[in-house]
């Protein structure tokens, strides 16, 4: 185990010393999100902000290190981002041809990517595949391309799904289980954050009845690379079914922005039309095609991720957290002192994820290098020492 870090901004054993914010080095958000300013952030406990009107919520979302830095400062050893389900060991980046950088993306490169994706995901043909700059872009397009009168989202889940349908003015409810097939349905399978899995045969049966009344089934398989047994892609094309596949999570290349819709050819082409020409960059087409064709890497990675996740689950259970779900890319734990642990870890430069719907839940992604594992183990031990010290003093 690494020694507990010293310095004025790191938690010390047995105490809860929080990093002092350094207002001078507050980061900028890329992409026009505006300046994140610690001075304007509302007060918070465990990442939960408390506004003047008494409303609460989490304003640090998965992977938002700029905002985390604005609130907790810049850790001396850099942030360890465990707030997403992105593989920390990315697919080794191949050399990218200069044509991919300099020319507009060519149809042949798009076809090569569609072929590789169809093969990797087990689709019957490349005509079922629409390529996109990340599945988030497709989530935004779903209401416009498919339309629906009423939507159920199997929850709790990735909040962007309900947000996209609601933004389009379509009545959207959260459902705890498959609703009657009298509306369209969105689910994430396996689910983020709890890993809930729905049998694909059950989904296919649900979709068959729903499709006859014109309703849609949308299955977001962003994390299915580690649960290929759950995928509905091999059964495609099914009428009125759309499956989303994210490239960035399993391959650890979320910044490349690449994702896919798998659907009947006519629907796939409607997604392409909705995105417009050259939506996927030349480098993304080339890297994606290469990586998806590397089935040996994918096989090895599934095994490696399962081993690392077993280690993470053990570490968290050993620290007194109850593992309540997850996949091999993230784990969800239930922890009574979730807010304090979140603050403690963020103070030590380790960002994890909390959830407004369940304040006892914490989601952890996998640490990458051994140093990150050590920092996590040390911070958990520091927290445990502080917590038992408090219990002794107050018990």
Ligand X SMILES: Cc1ncc(COP(=O)(O)O)c(C=O)c1O
Binding site for ligand X (CB under 6 A): 62, 134-136, 158, 188, 192, 220, 222, 246, 248, 254, 259
What separation in angstroms does the CA of 141 have from each of 27, 59, 137, 161, 356? 31, 24, 6, 11, 26
In the bound complex, what is the minimum distance in angstroms from residue 245's beta carbon to ligand X?
Answer: 8
In the bound complex, what is the minimum distance in angstroms from residue 388's beta carbon to ligand X?
Answer: 35
CB closer to ligand X out of 62 and 288: 62
CB 183 within 8 A of CB 150: yes
CA atoms of 44 and 57, how far apart (whole Å): 9
Judge residue 111's burial from the number of C-beta atoms within 10 Å of its C-beta, 0-12 exposed, 13-18 middle, 19 or more buried.
Answer: middle
**Backbone torsions φ then ψ of 35, nearest 5 degrees:** -75, 130
**The two three-digit tokens of residue 174, written as one number:** 């959260």
CB closer to ligand X out of 5 and 192: 192
CB closer to ligand X out of 186 and 380: 186
CA atoms of 225 and 250, how far apart (whole Å): 6
CB closer to ligand X out of 158 and 206: 158
In the bound complex, what is the minimum distance in angstroms from residue 203's beta carbon to ligand X?
Answer: 16
In the bound complex, what is the minimum distance in angstroms from residue 373's beta carbon to ligand X?
Answer: 23
Among residues 358, 288, 309, 247, the alpha carbon closest in space to that of 115 is found at: 288
CB closer to ligand X out of 152 and 319: 152
In the bound complex, what is the minimum distance in angstroms from residue 195's beta carbon to ligand X?
Answer: 11
How crowded is the C-beta side of 112, counted as CA atoms within 13 Å?
17
């Amino acid at each position: 185990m690494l020694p507990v870090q010293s310095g004025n901004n790191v938690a010390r054993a047995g105490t809860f010393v929080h990093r002092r914010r350094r207002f001078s080095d507050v980061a900028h958000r890329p992409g026009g999100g505006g300046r994140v300013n610690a001075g304007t952030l509302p007060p918070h406990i465990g990442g939960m902000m408390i506004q003047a009107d008494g409303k609460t919520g989490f304003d640090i979302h998965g992977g938002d290190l700029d905002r985390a830095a604005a609130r907790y400062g810049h850790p001396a050893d850099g942030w360890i981002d465990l707030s997403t389900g992105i593989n920390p060991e990315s697919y080794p980046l191949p050399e990218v041809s200069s044509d991919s950088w300099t020319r507009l993306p060519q149809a042949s490169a798009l076809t090569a990517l569609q072929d590789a994706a169809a093969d990797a995901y087990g689709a019957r043909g490349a005509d079922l595949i629409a390529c996109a700059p990340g599945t988030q872009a497709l989530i935004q397009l779903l209401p416009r391309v498919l339309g629906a009168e009423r939507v159920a989202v199997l929850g709790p889940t990735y909040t962007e799904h309900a947000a996209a349908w609601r933004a389009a003015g379509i009545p959207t409810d959260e459902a705890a289980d498959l609703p009657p097939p009298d509306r369209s349905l969105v689910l994430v399978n396996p689910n983020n954050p709890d890993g809930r899995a729905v049998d694909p045969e059950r989904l296919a049966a649900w979709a068959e009845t729903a499709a006859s009344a014109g309703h849609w089934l949308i299955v977001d398989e962003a994390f299915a690379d580690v649960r290929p047994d759950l995928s509905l892609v091999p059964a495609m094309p099914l009428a009125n079914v759309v499956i989303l596949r994210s490239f960035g999570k399993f391959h650890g290349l979320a910044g490349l922005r690449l994702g896919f819709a798998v659907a009947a050819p006519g629907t796939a082409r409607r997604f392409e039309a909705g995105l417009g020409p050259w939506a996927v960059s030349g480098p993304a087409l080339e890297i994606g095609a290469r990586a998806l064709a590397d089935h040996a890497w994918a096989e090895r990675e599934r095994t490696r991720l399962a081993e690392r996740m077993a280690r993470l689950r053990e570490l968290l259970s050993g620290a007194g957290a109850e593992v309540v779900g997850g996949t091999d890319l993230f784990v969800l734990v239930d922890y009574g002192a979730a807010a304090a642990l979140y603050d403690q870890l963020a103070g030590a430069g380790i960002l994890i994820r909390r959830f407004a719907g369940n304040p006892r839940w914490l989601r952890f992604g996998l640490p990458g290098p051994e140093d990150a594992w050590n920092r996590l183990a040390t911070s958990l031990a520091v927290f445990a020492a502080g917590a038992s010290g408090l219990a002794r003093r107050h018990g």
